Amino acid sequence: MTAMQAARRTLSDVFGYDSFRPGQESVVSAILSGRDVMAVMPTGAGKSMCYQIPALVLEGITLVVSPLISLMRDQVSSLLQNGVRAAYLNSSLTSRQYMLALDNAKRGVYKIIYVAPERLLTRSFLDFAMQADIAQVVVDEAHCVSQWGQDFRPGYLDIAPFIAQLPRRPRVSAFTATATESVKKDIMRLLELRQPYAVTTGFDRPNLFFEVRREGNRDLALLRFLKEQQGKSGIVYCGTRKGVEEVTGMLVQNRIDAVGYHAGMGDEERMSAQEDFVSDRAPVIVATNAFGMGIDKSNVSFVVHYNMPKDLESYYQEAGRAGRDGEDAVCCLLYQPSDVHLNTFLIDHAQENMQLDAETQKIVTDRAKERLKQMTYYATTSGCLRTKILSYFGETPENPRCGNCSGCMTAAQERDVTREAGRIVACVLALGGKYGKALTAKVLAGSQSERIRERQLDKLTVFGSLKAEGEENIRLMIDELIIDEVLELTDGQYPLLKAGPRAREALLGDEPIRMTIAHRDAAPAPRLRVTAKPNVDKALLKRLNRLRRSIAEEQHVPPFIIFTNATIRDMAVKCPRTRAQMLCVDGVGERKMDRYGDMFLRVIREYLEE
Ligand code: ADP
Ligand code: ZN
């Protein structure tokens, strides 16, 4: 079996997935062949699979340097659930626990070890590392090594010296979700990557709907938004701790189960807020941007920014925490001009405590202001929001209008169709009220159908007068004109189209007519959904979720660690009745089959027998 075959086997047997996602396969293959890797992949793209699979295929240990305790904990519990021996080494362990874990590591108990960067150069850790067979060092959130990035973490500078001390240099792979060219260069230089295989996978997250709301009162805008999202779970980001407290209070007063989360709270209170959110007990968490990274949960259906963040890097990273399970999700930014002033103030005062020389300080400030300007363009543009984001990250989308953001939706709303309406009325008059909607649209679109030629309708001057519009749009306009009483439909089995009371006005074009019809040239390309959503049995889904929740509570882990939402949903669609069928569900590997398969099969069986 080749290494890649082993990798595919691991993907399906251990993790329960049929196929690699875009970008994953080439990274896995590069790592297996011994190369260094520099991978820029958006949140939710599936970075962990890229290094966890090689970790299991390769002889030896994989070390993963990660900046956050909560991320490490979740990764390790997920791995353990899948039967992979893994551990983390960070400051959340007591020194006894730490020594014990290190002892285990020395004895080769773990395949994957997550470690905080600050540990790397400590005596005890080096002692272990010098003797261990380390096959791979992974640097997660690699942008933390760059001072130009938004999350500089000095401990990351220890990574290269650490690797240099190892008796045999392992392959080194760096992963990040946000990297502009300069940050990417910094990562490769500071981590001393050797001719890395560099890959940047598409930044687009097709399942996210982007929107900006510029209503005068943020609280009302937020309440309205949350009402639309009722029953779903999501994050509300605020710019300040005080904001978190105020917004949480406001939501609770309005009977929304929200919990607050910020660094100024006591550890216990903060942990319990996070627990409530992650375990789905509180559907809404209000948090500061700075501590958002610690919240990791895959079924986040929306992310609202109560304030505009300082740059698109932060915004896209935070907003990108929605929909990581691949389900449709909404990212909403509430914008007010005062956001710009506040951010400018923060930039002007941020560098004071970094003790930079005057020249460097000016560069840093200028860059930050430029980033803020781009963020502000995003918040105020009337164009496509997705295009704005993607082009900021250096991508050129095929279609400049995505059709899945508030920019595209309002563009469709603001269309003046006075001229088109006039032509439609002229056509209806020319047809003498003898035909229905469909044929009228065909005549206007200049369609070459039998019926039209037979009746010589193609000889009329109105024939093809709205050719550029297309039949579909014409039919939509006719519907609108009926509502507006410009046209009327007769009663009966085959309703015919005739002029309505306001037809004359439309024909003269005195009053402008506006409609929510897309511009022909601006019409979004038909969006290829990755998966057409199959019908889910909602009642079954509910039971499966209940079972998942009770298992999760018993084990004191978040529900998505047992199975992700996407897996539960797939189960409700496939409705497996046998172990073999259960293994075909996305996200059910052999280990999880052994642990939970029968319980879930029983619930399905009981459900089907009722
Ligand atoms: P990232 O670290 O890039 O934000 P994760 O590694 O957390 O993303 O993966 C996001 C989600 O996608 C997880 O639930 C993961 O199990 C799932 N996933 C990853 N790879 C695949 C795959 N090849 N097929 C199906 N689901 C996958
Ligand atoms: Zn768009």
Q: Which residue has the tokens 């909404």?
A: 330
Which residue CA neighbors atom 5 of ligand 1 most closely? Answer: 46
Concatenate the DSSP letters of all residues of 102-143 into one string. Answer: HHHHHTT--SEEEE-GGGTTSHHHHHHHHHS-EEEEEETTGG
Chain centroid, CA 452 distance in Å: 48
Structure tokens at 557: 């882990």
Q: What is the CB-side half-sphere exposure of residue 273 using CA atoms within 13 A?
A: 24
Gap from CA of 408 to ligand 2 centroid (Å)? 4
Which residue CA neighbors atom 27 of ligand 1 most closely? Answer: 46
pLDDT of residue 527: 36
Which residue CA neighbors atom 23 of ligand 1 most closely? Answer: 20
Residue 93, exposed/middle/buried by CB under 10 A (0-12, 13-18, 19+)?
Answer: middle
Question: Sign of dihedral through CA atoms 581, 582, 584, 589?
Answer: negative
Q: Which atom of ligand 1 is nearest to the CA of 320?
A: 4
Gap from CA of 50 to ligand 1 centroid (Å)? 9
Which residue CA neighbors atom 25 of ligand 1 most closely? Answer: 17
Among residues 399, 289, 296, the alpha carbon closest in space to that of 333 is found at: 289
Largest CA distance in the chain: 93
203 lines ligand 1 (CB under 6 A): no
Contact 317, 43 (CB under 8 A): yes
Nearest ligand, measured from the Cα of 212: 2
Cβ neighbours around 236 below 10 Å, total? 26
> Which stretch of DSSP H or E encloses residue 487?
strand 487-489
* Cα 438 from Cα 497, distance rounded (Å): 10
81 lines ligand 1 (CB under 6 A): no
Q: Which of 48, 316, 531 is the pocket-test mutation for ligand 1 (most atoms within 8 Å of CB)?
A: 48
- Which strands sit side by side in the sheet containing 112-115, from one edge to the other? 86-89, 112-115, 61-65, 134-139, 171-176, 37-40, 197-200
* Cα 15 from Cα 576, distance rounded (Å): 18
Structure tokens at 602: 């029983």
Task: State the first-to-last Cα distance of the chain, in angstroms, to the nearest integer.
Answer: 46
Contact 28, 54 (CB under 8 A): yes
49 lines ligand 1 (CB under 6 A): yes
Structure tokens at 43: 């949140």
pLDDT of residue 412: 63
Contact 222, 236 (CB under 8 A): yes
**Positions of the chain with pLDDT under 50:** 520-532
* Cα 401 from Cα 394, distance rounded (Å): 16
Burial 431-453 (b: 16+ CB within 10 A, else e): beeebebebbbbbbbbbeeeebe
Amino acid at 149: G
Structure tokens at 533: 């959503």
Contact 514, 477 (CB under 8 A): no
20 lines ligand 1 (CB under 6 A): yes
Residues constituting the chain: 610
Nearest ligand, measured from the Cα of 74: 1
* Cα 451 from Cα 443, distance rounded (Å): 10
213 lines ligand 1 (CB under 6 A): no
Region for 95 from its dihedrals, namely left if φ exceeds 0, alpha if ψ lies in -120 to 50, beta otherwise: alpha
41 lines ligand 1 (CB under 6 A): yes
> Which stretch of DSSP H or E encloses residue 425?
helix 418-430
* Cα 452 from Cα 556, distance rounded (Å): 69
The runs of H, that is alpha helices, within 199-337 are 218-228, 241-253, 267-278, 312-319
> Which stretch of DSSP H or E encloses residue 237?
strand 234-238
Strand ranges for 75-203 from DSSP E: 86-89, 112-115, 134-139, 171-176, 197-200
Residue 54, exposed/middle/buried by CB under 10 A (0-12, 13-18, 19+)?
Answer: buried
Q: Provide φ and ψ at 63, rounded to 5°.
A: -100, 130
Which residue CA neighbors atom 19 of ligand 1 most closely? Answer: 46
Nearest ligand, measured from the Cα of 397: 2
> Which stretch of DSSP H or E encloses residue 160?
helix 159-165
Contact 326, 206 (CB under 8 A): no
* Cα 120 from Cα 159, distance rounded (Å): 7
Nearest ligand, measured from the Cα of 400: 2
Which long-range CB contacts under 8 A does 454-458 form with residues at least 24 apart? 457/431
* Cα 172 from Cα 63, distance rounded (Å): 10
Q: What letter does residue 526 receive in the DSSP assignment?
A: P
Q: Which residue has the tokens 């993607």?
A: 390
Q: Which atom of ligand 1 is nearest to the CA of 17?
A: 24
Question: Sign of dihedral through CA atoms 432, 437, 443, 444?
Answer: positive
* Cα dihedral 106, 107, 108, 112 in deg (nearest 10): -50
**Per DSSP, what are the bridge partners of residue 304?**
236, 332
∠ CA 168-174-176, rounded to 5°: 165
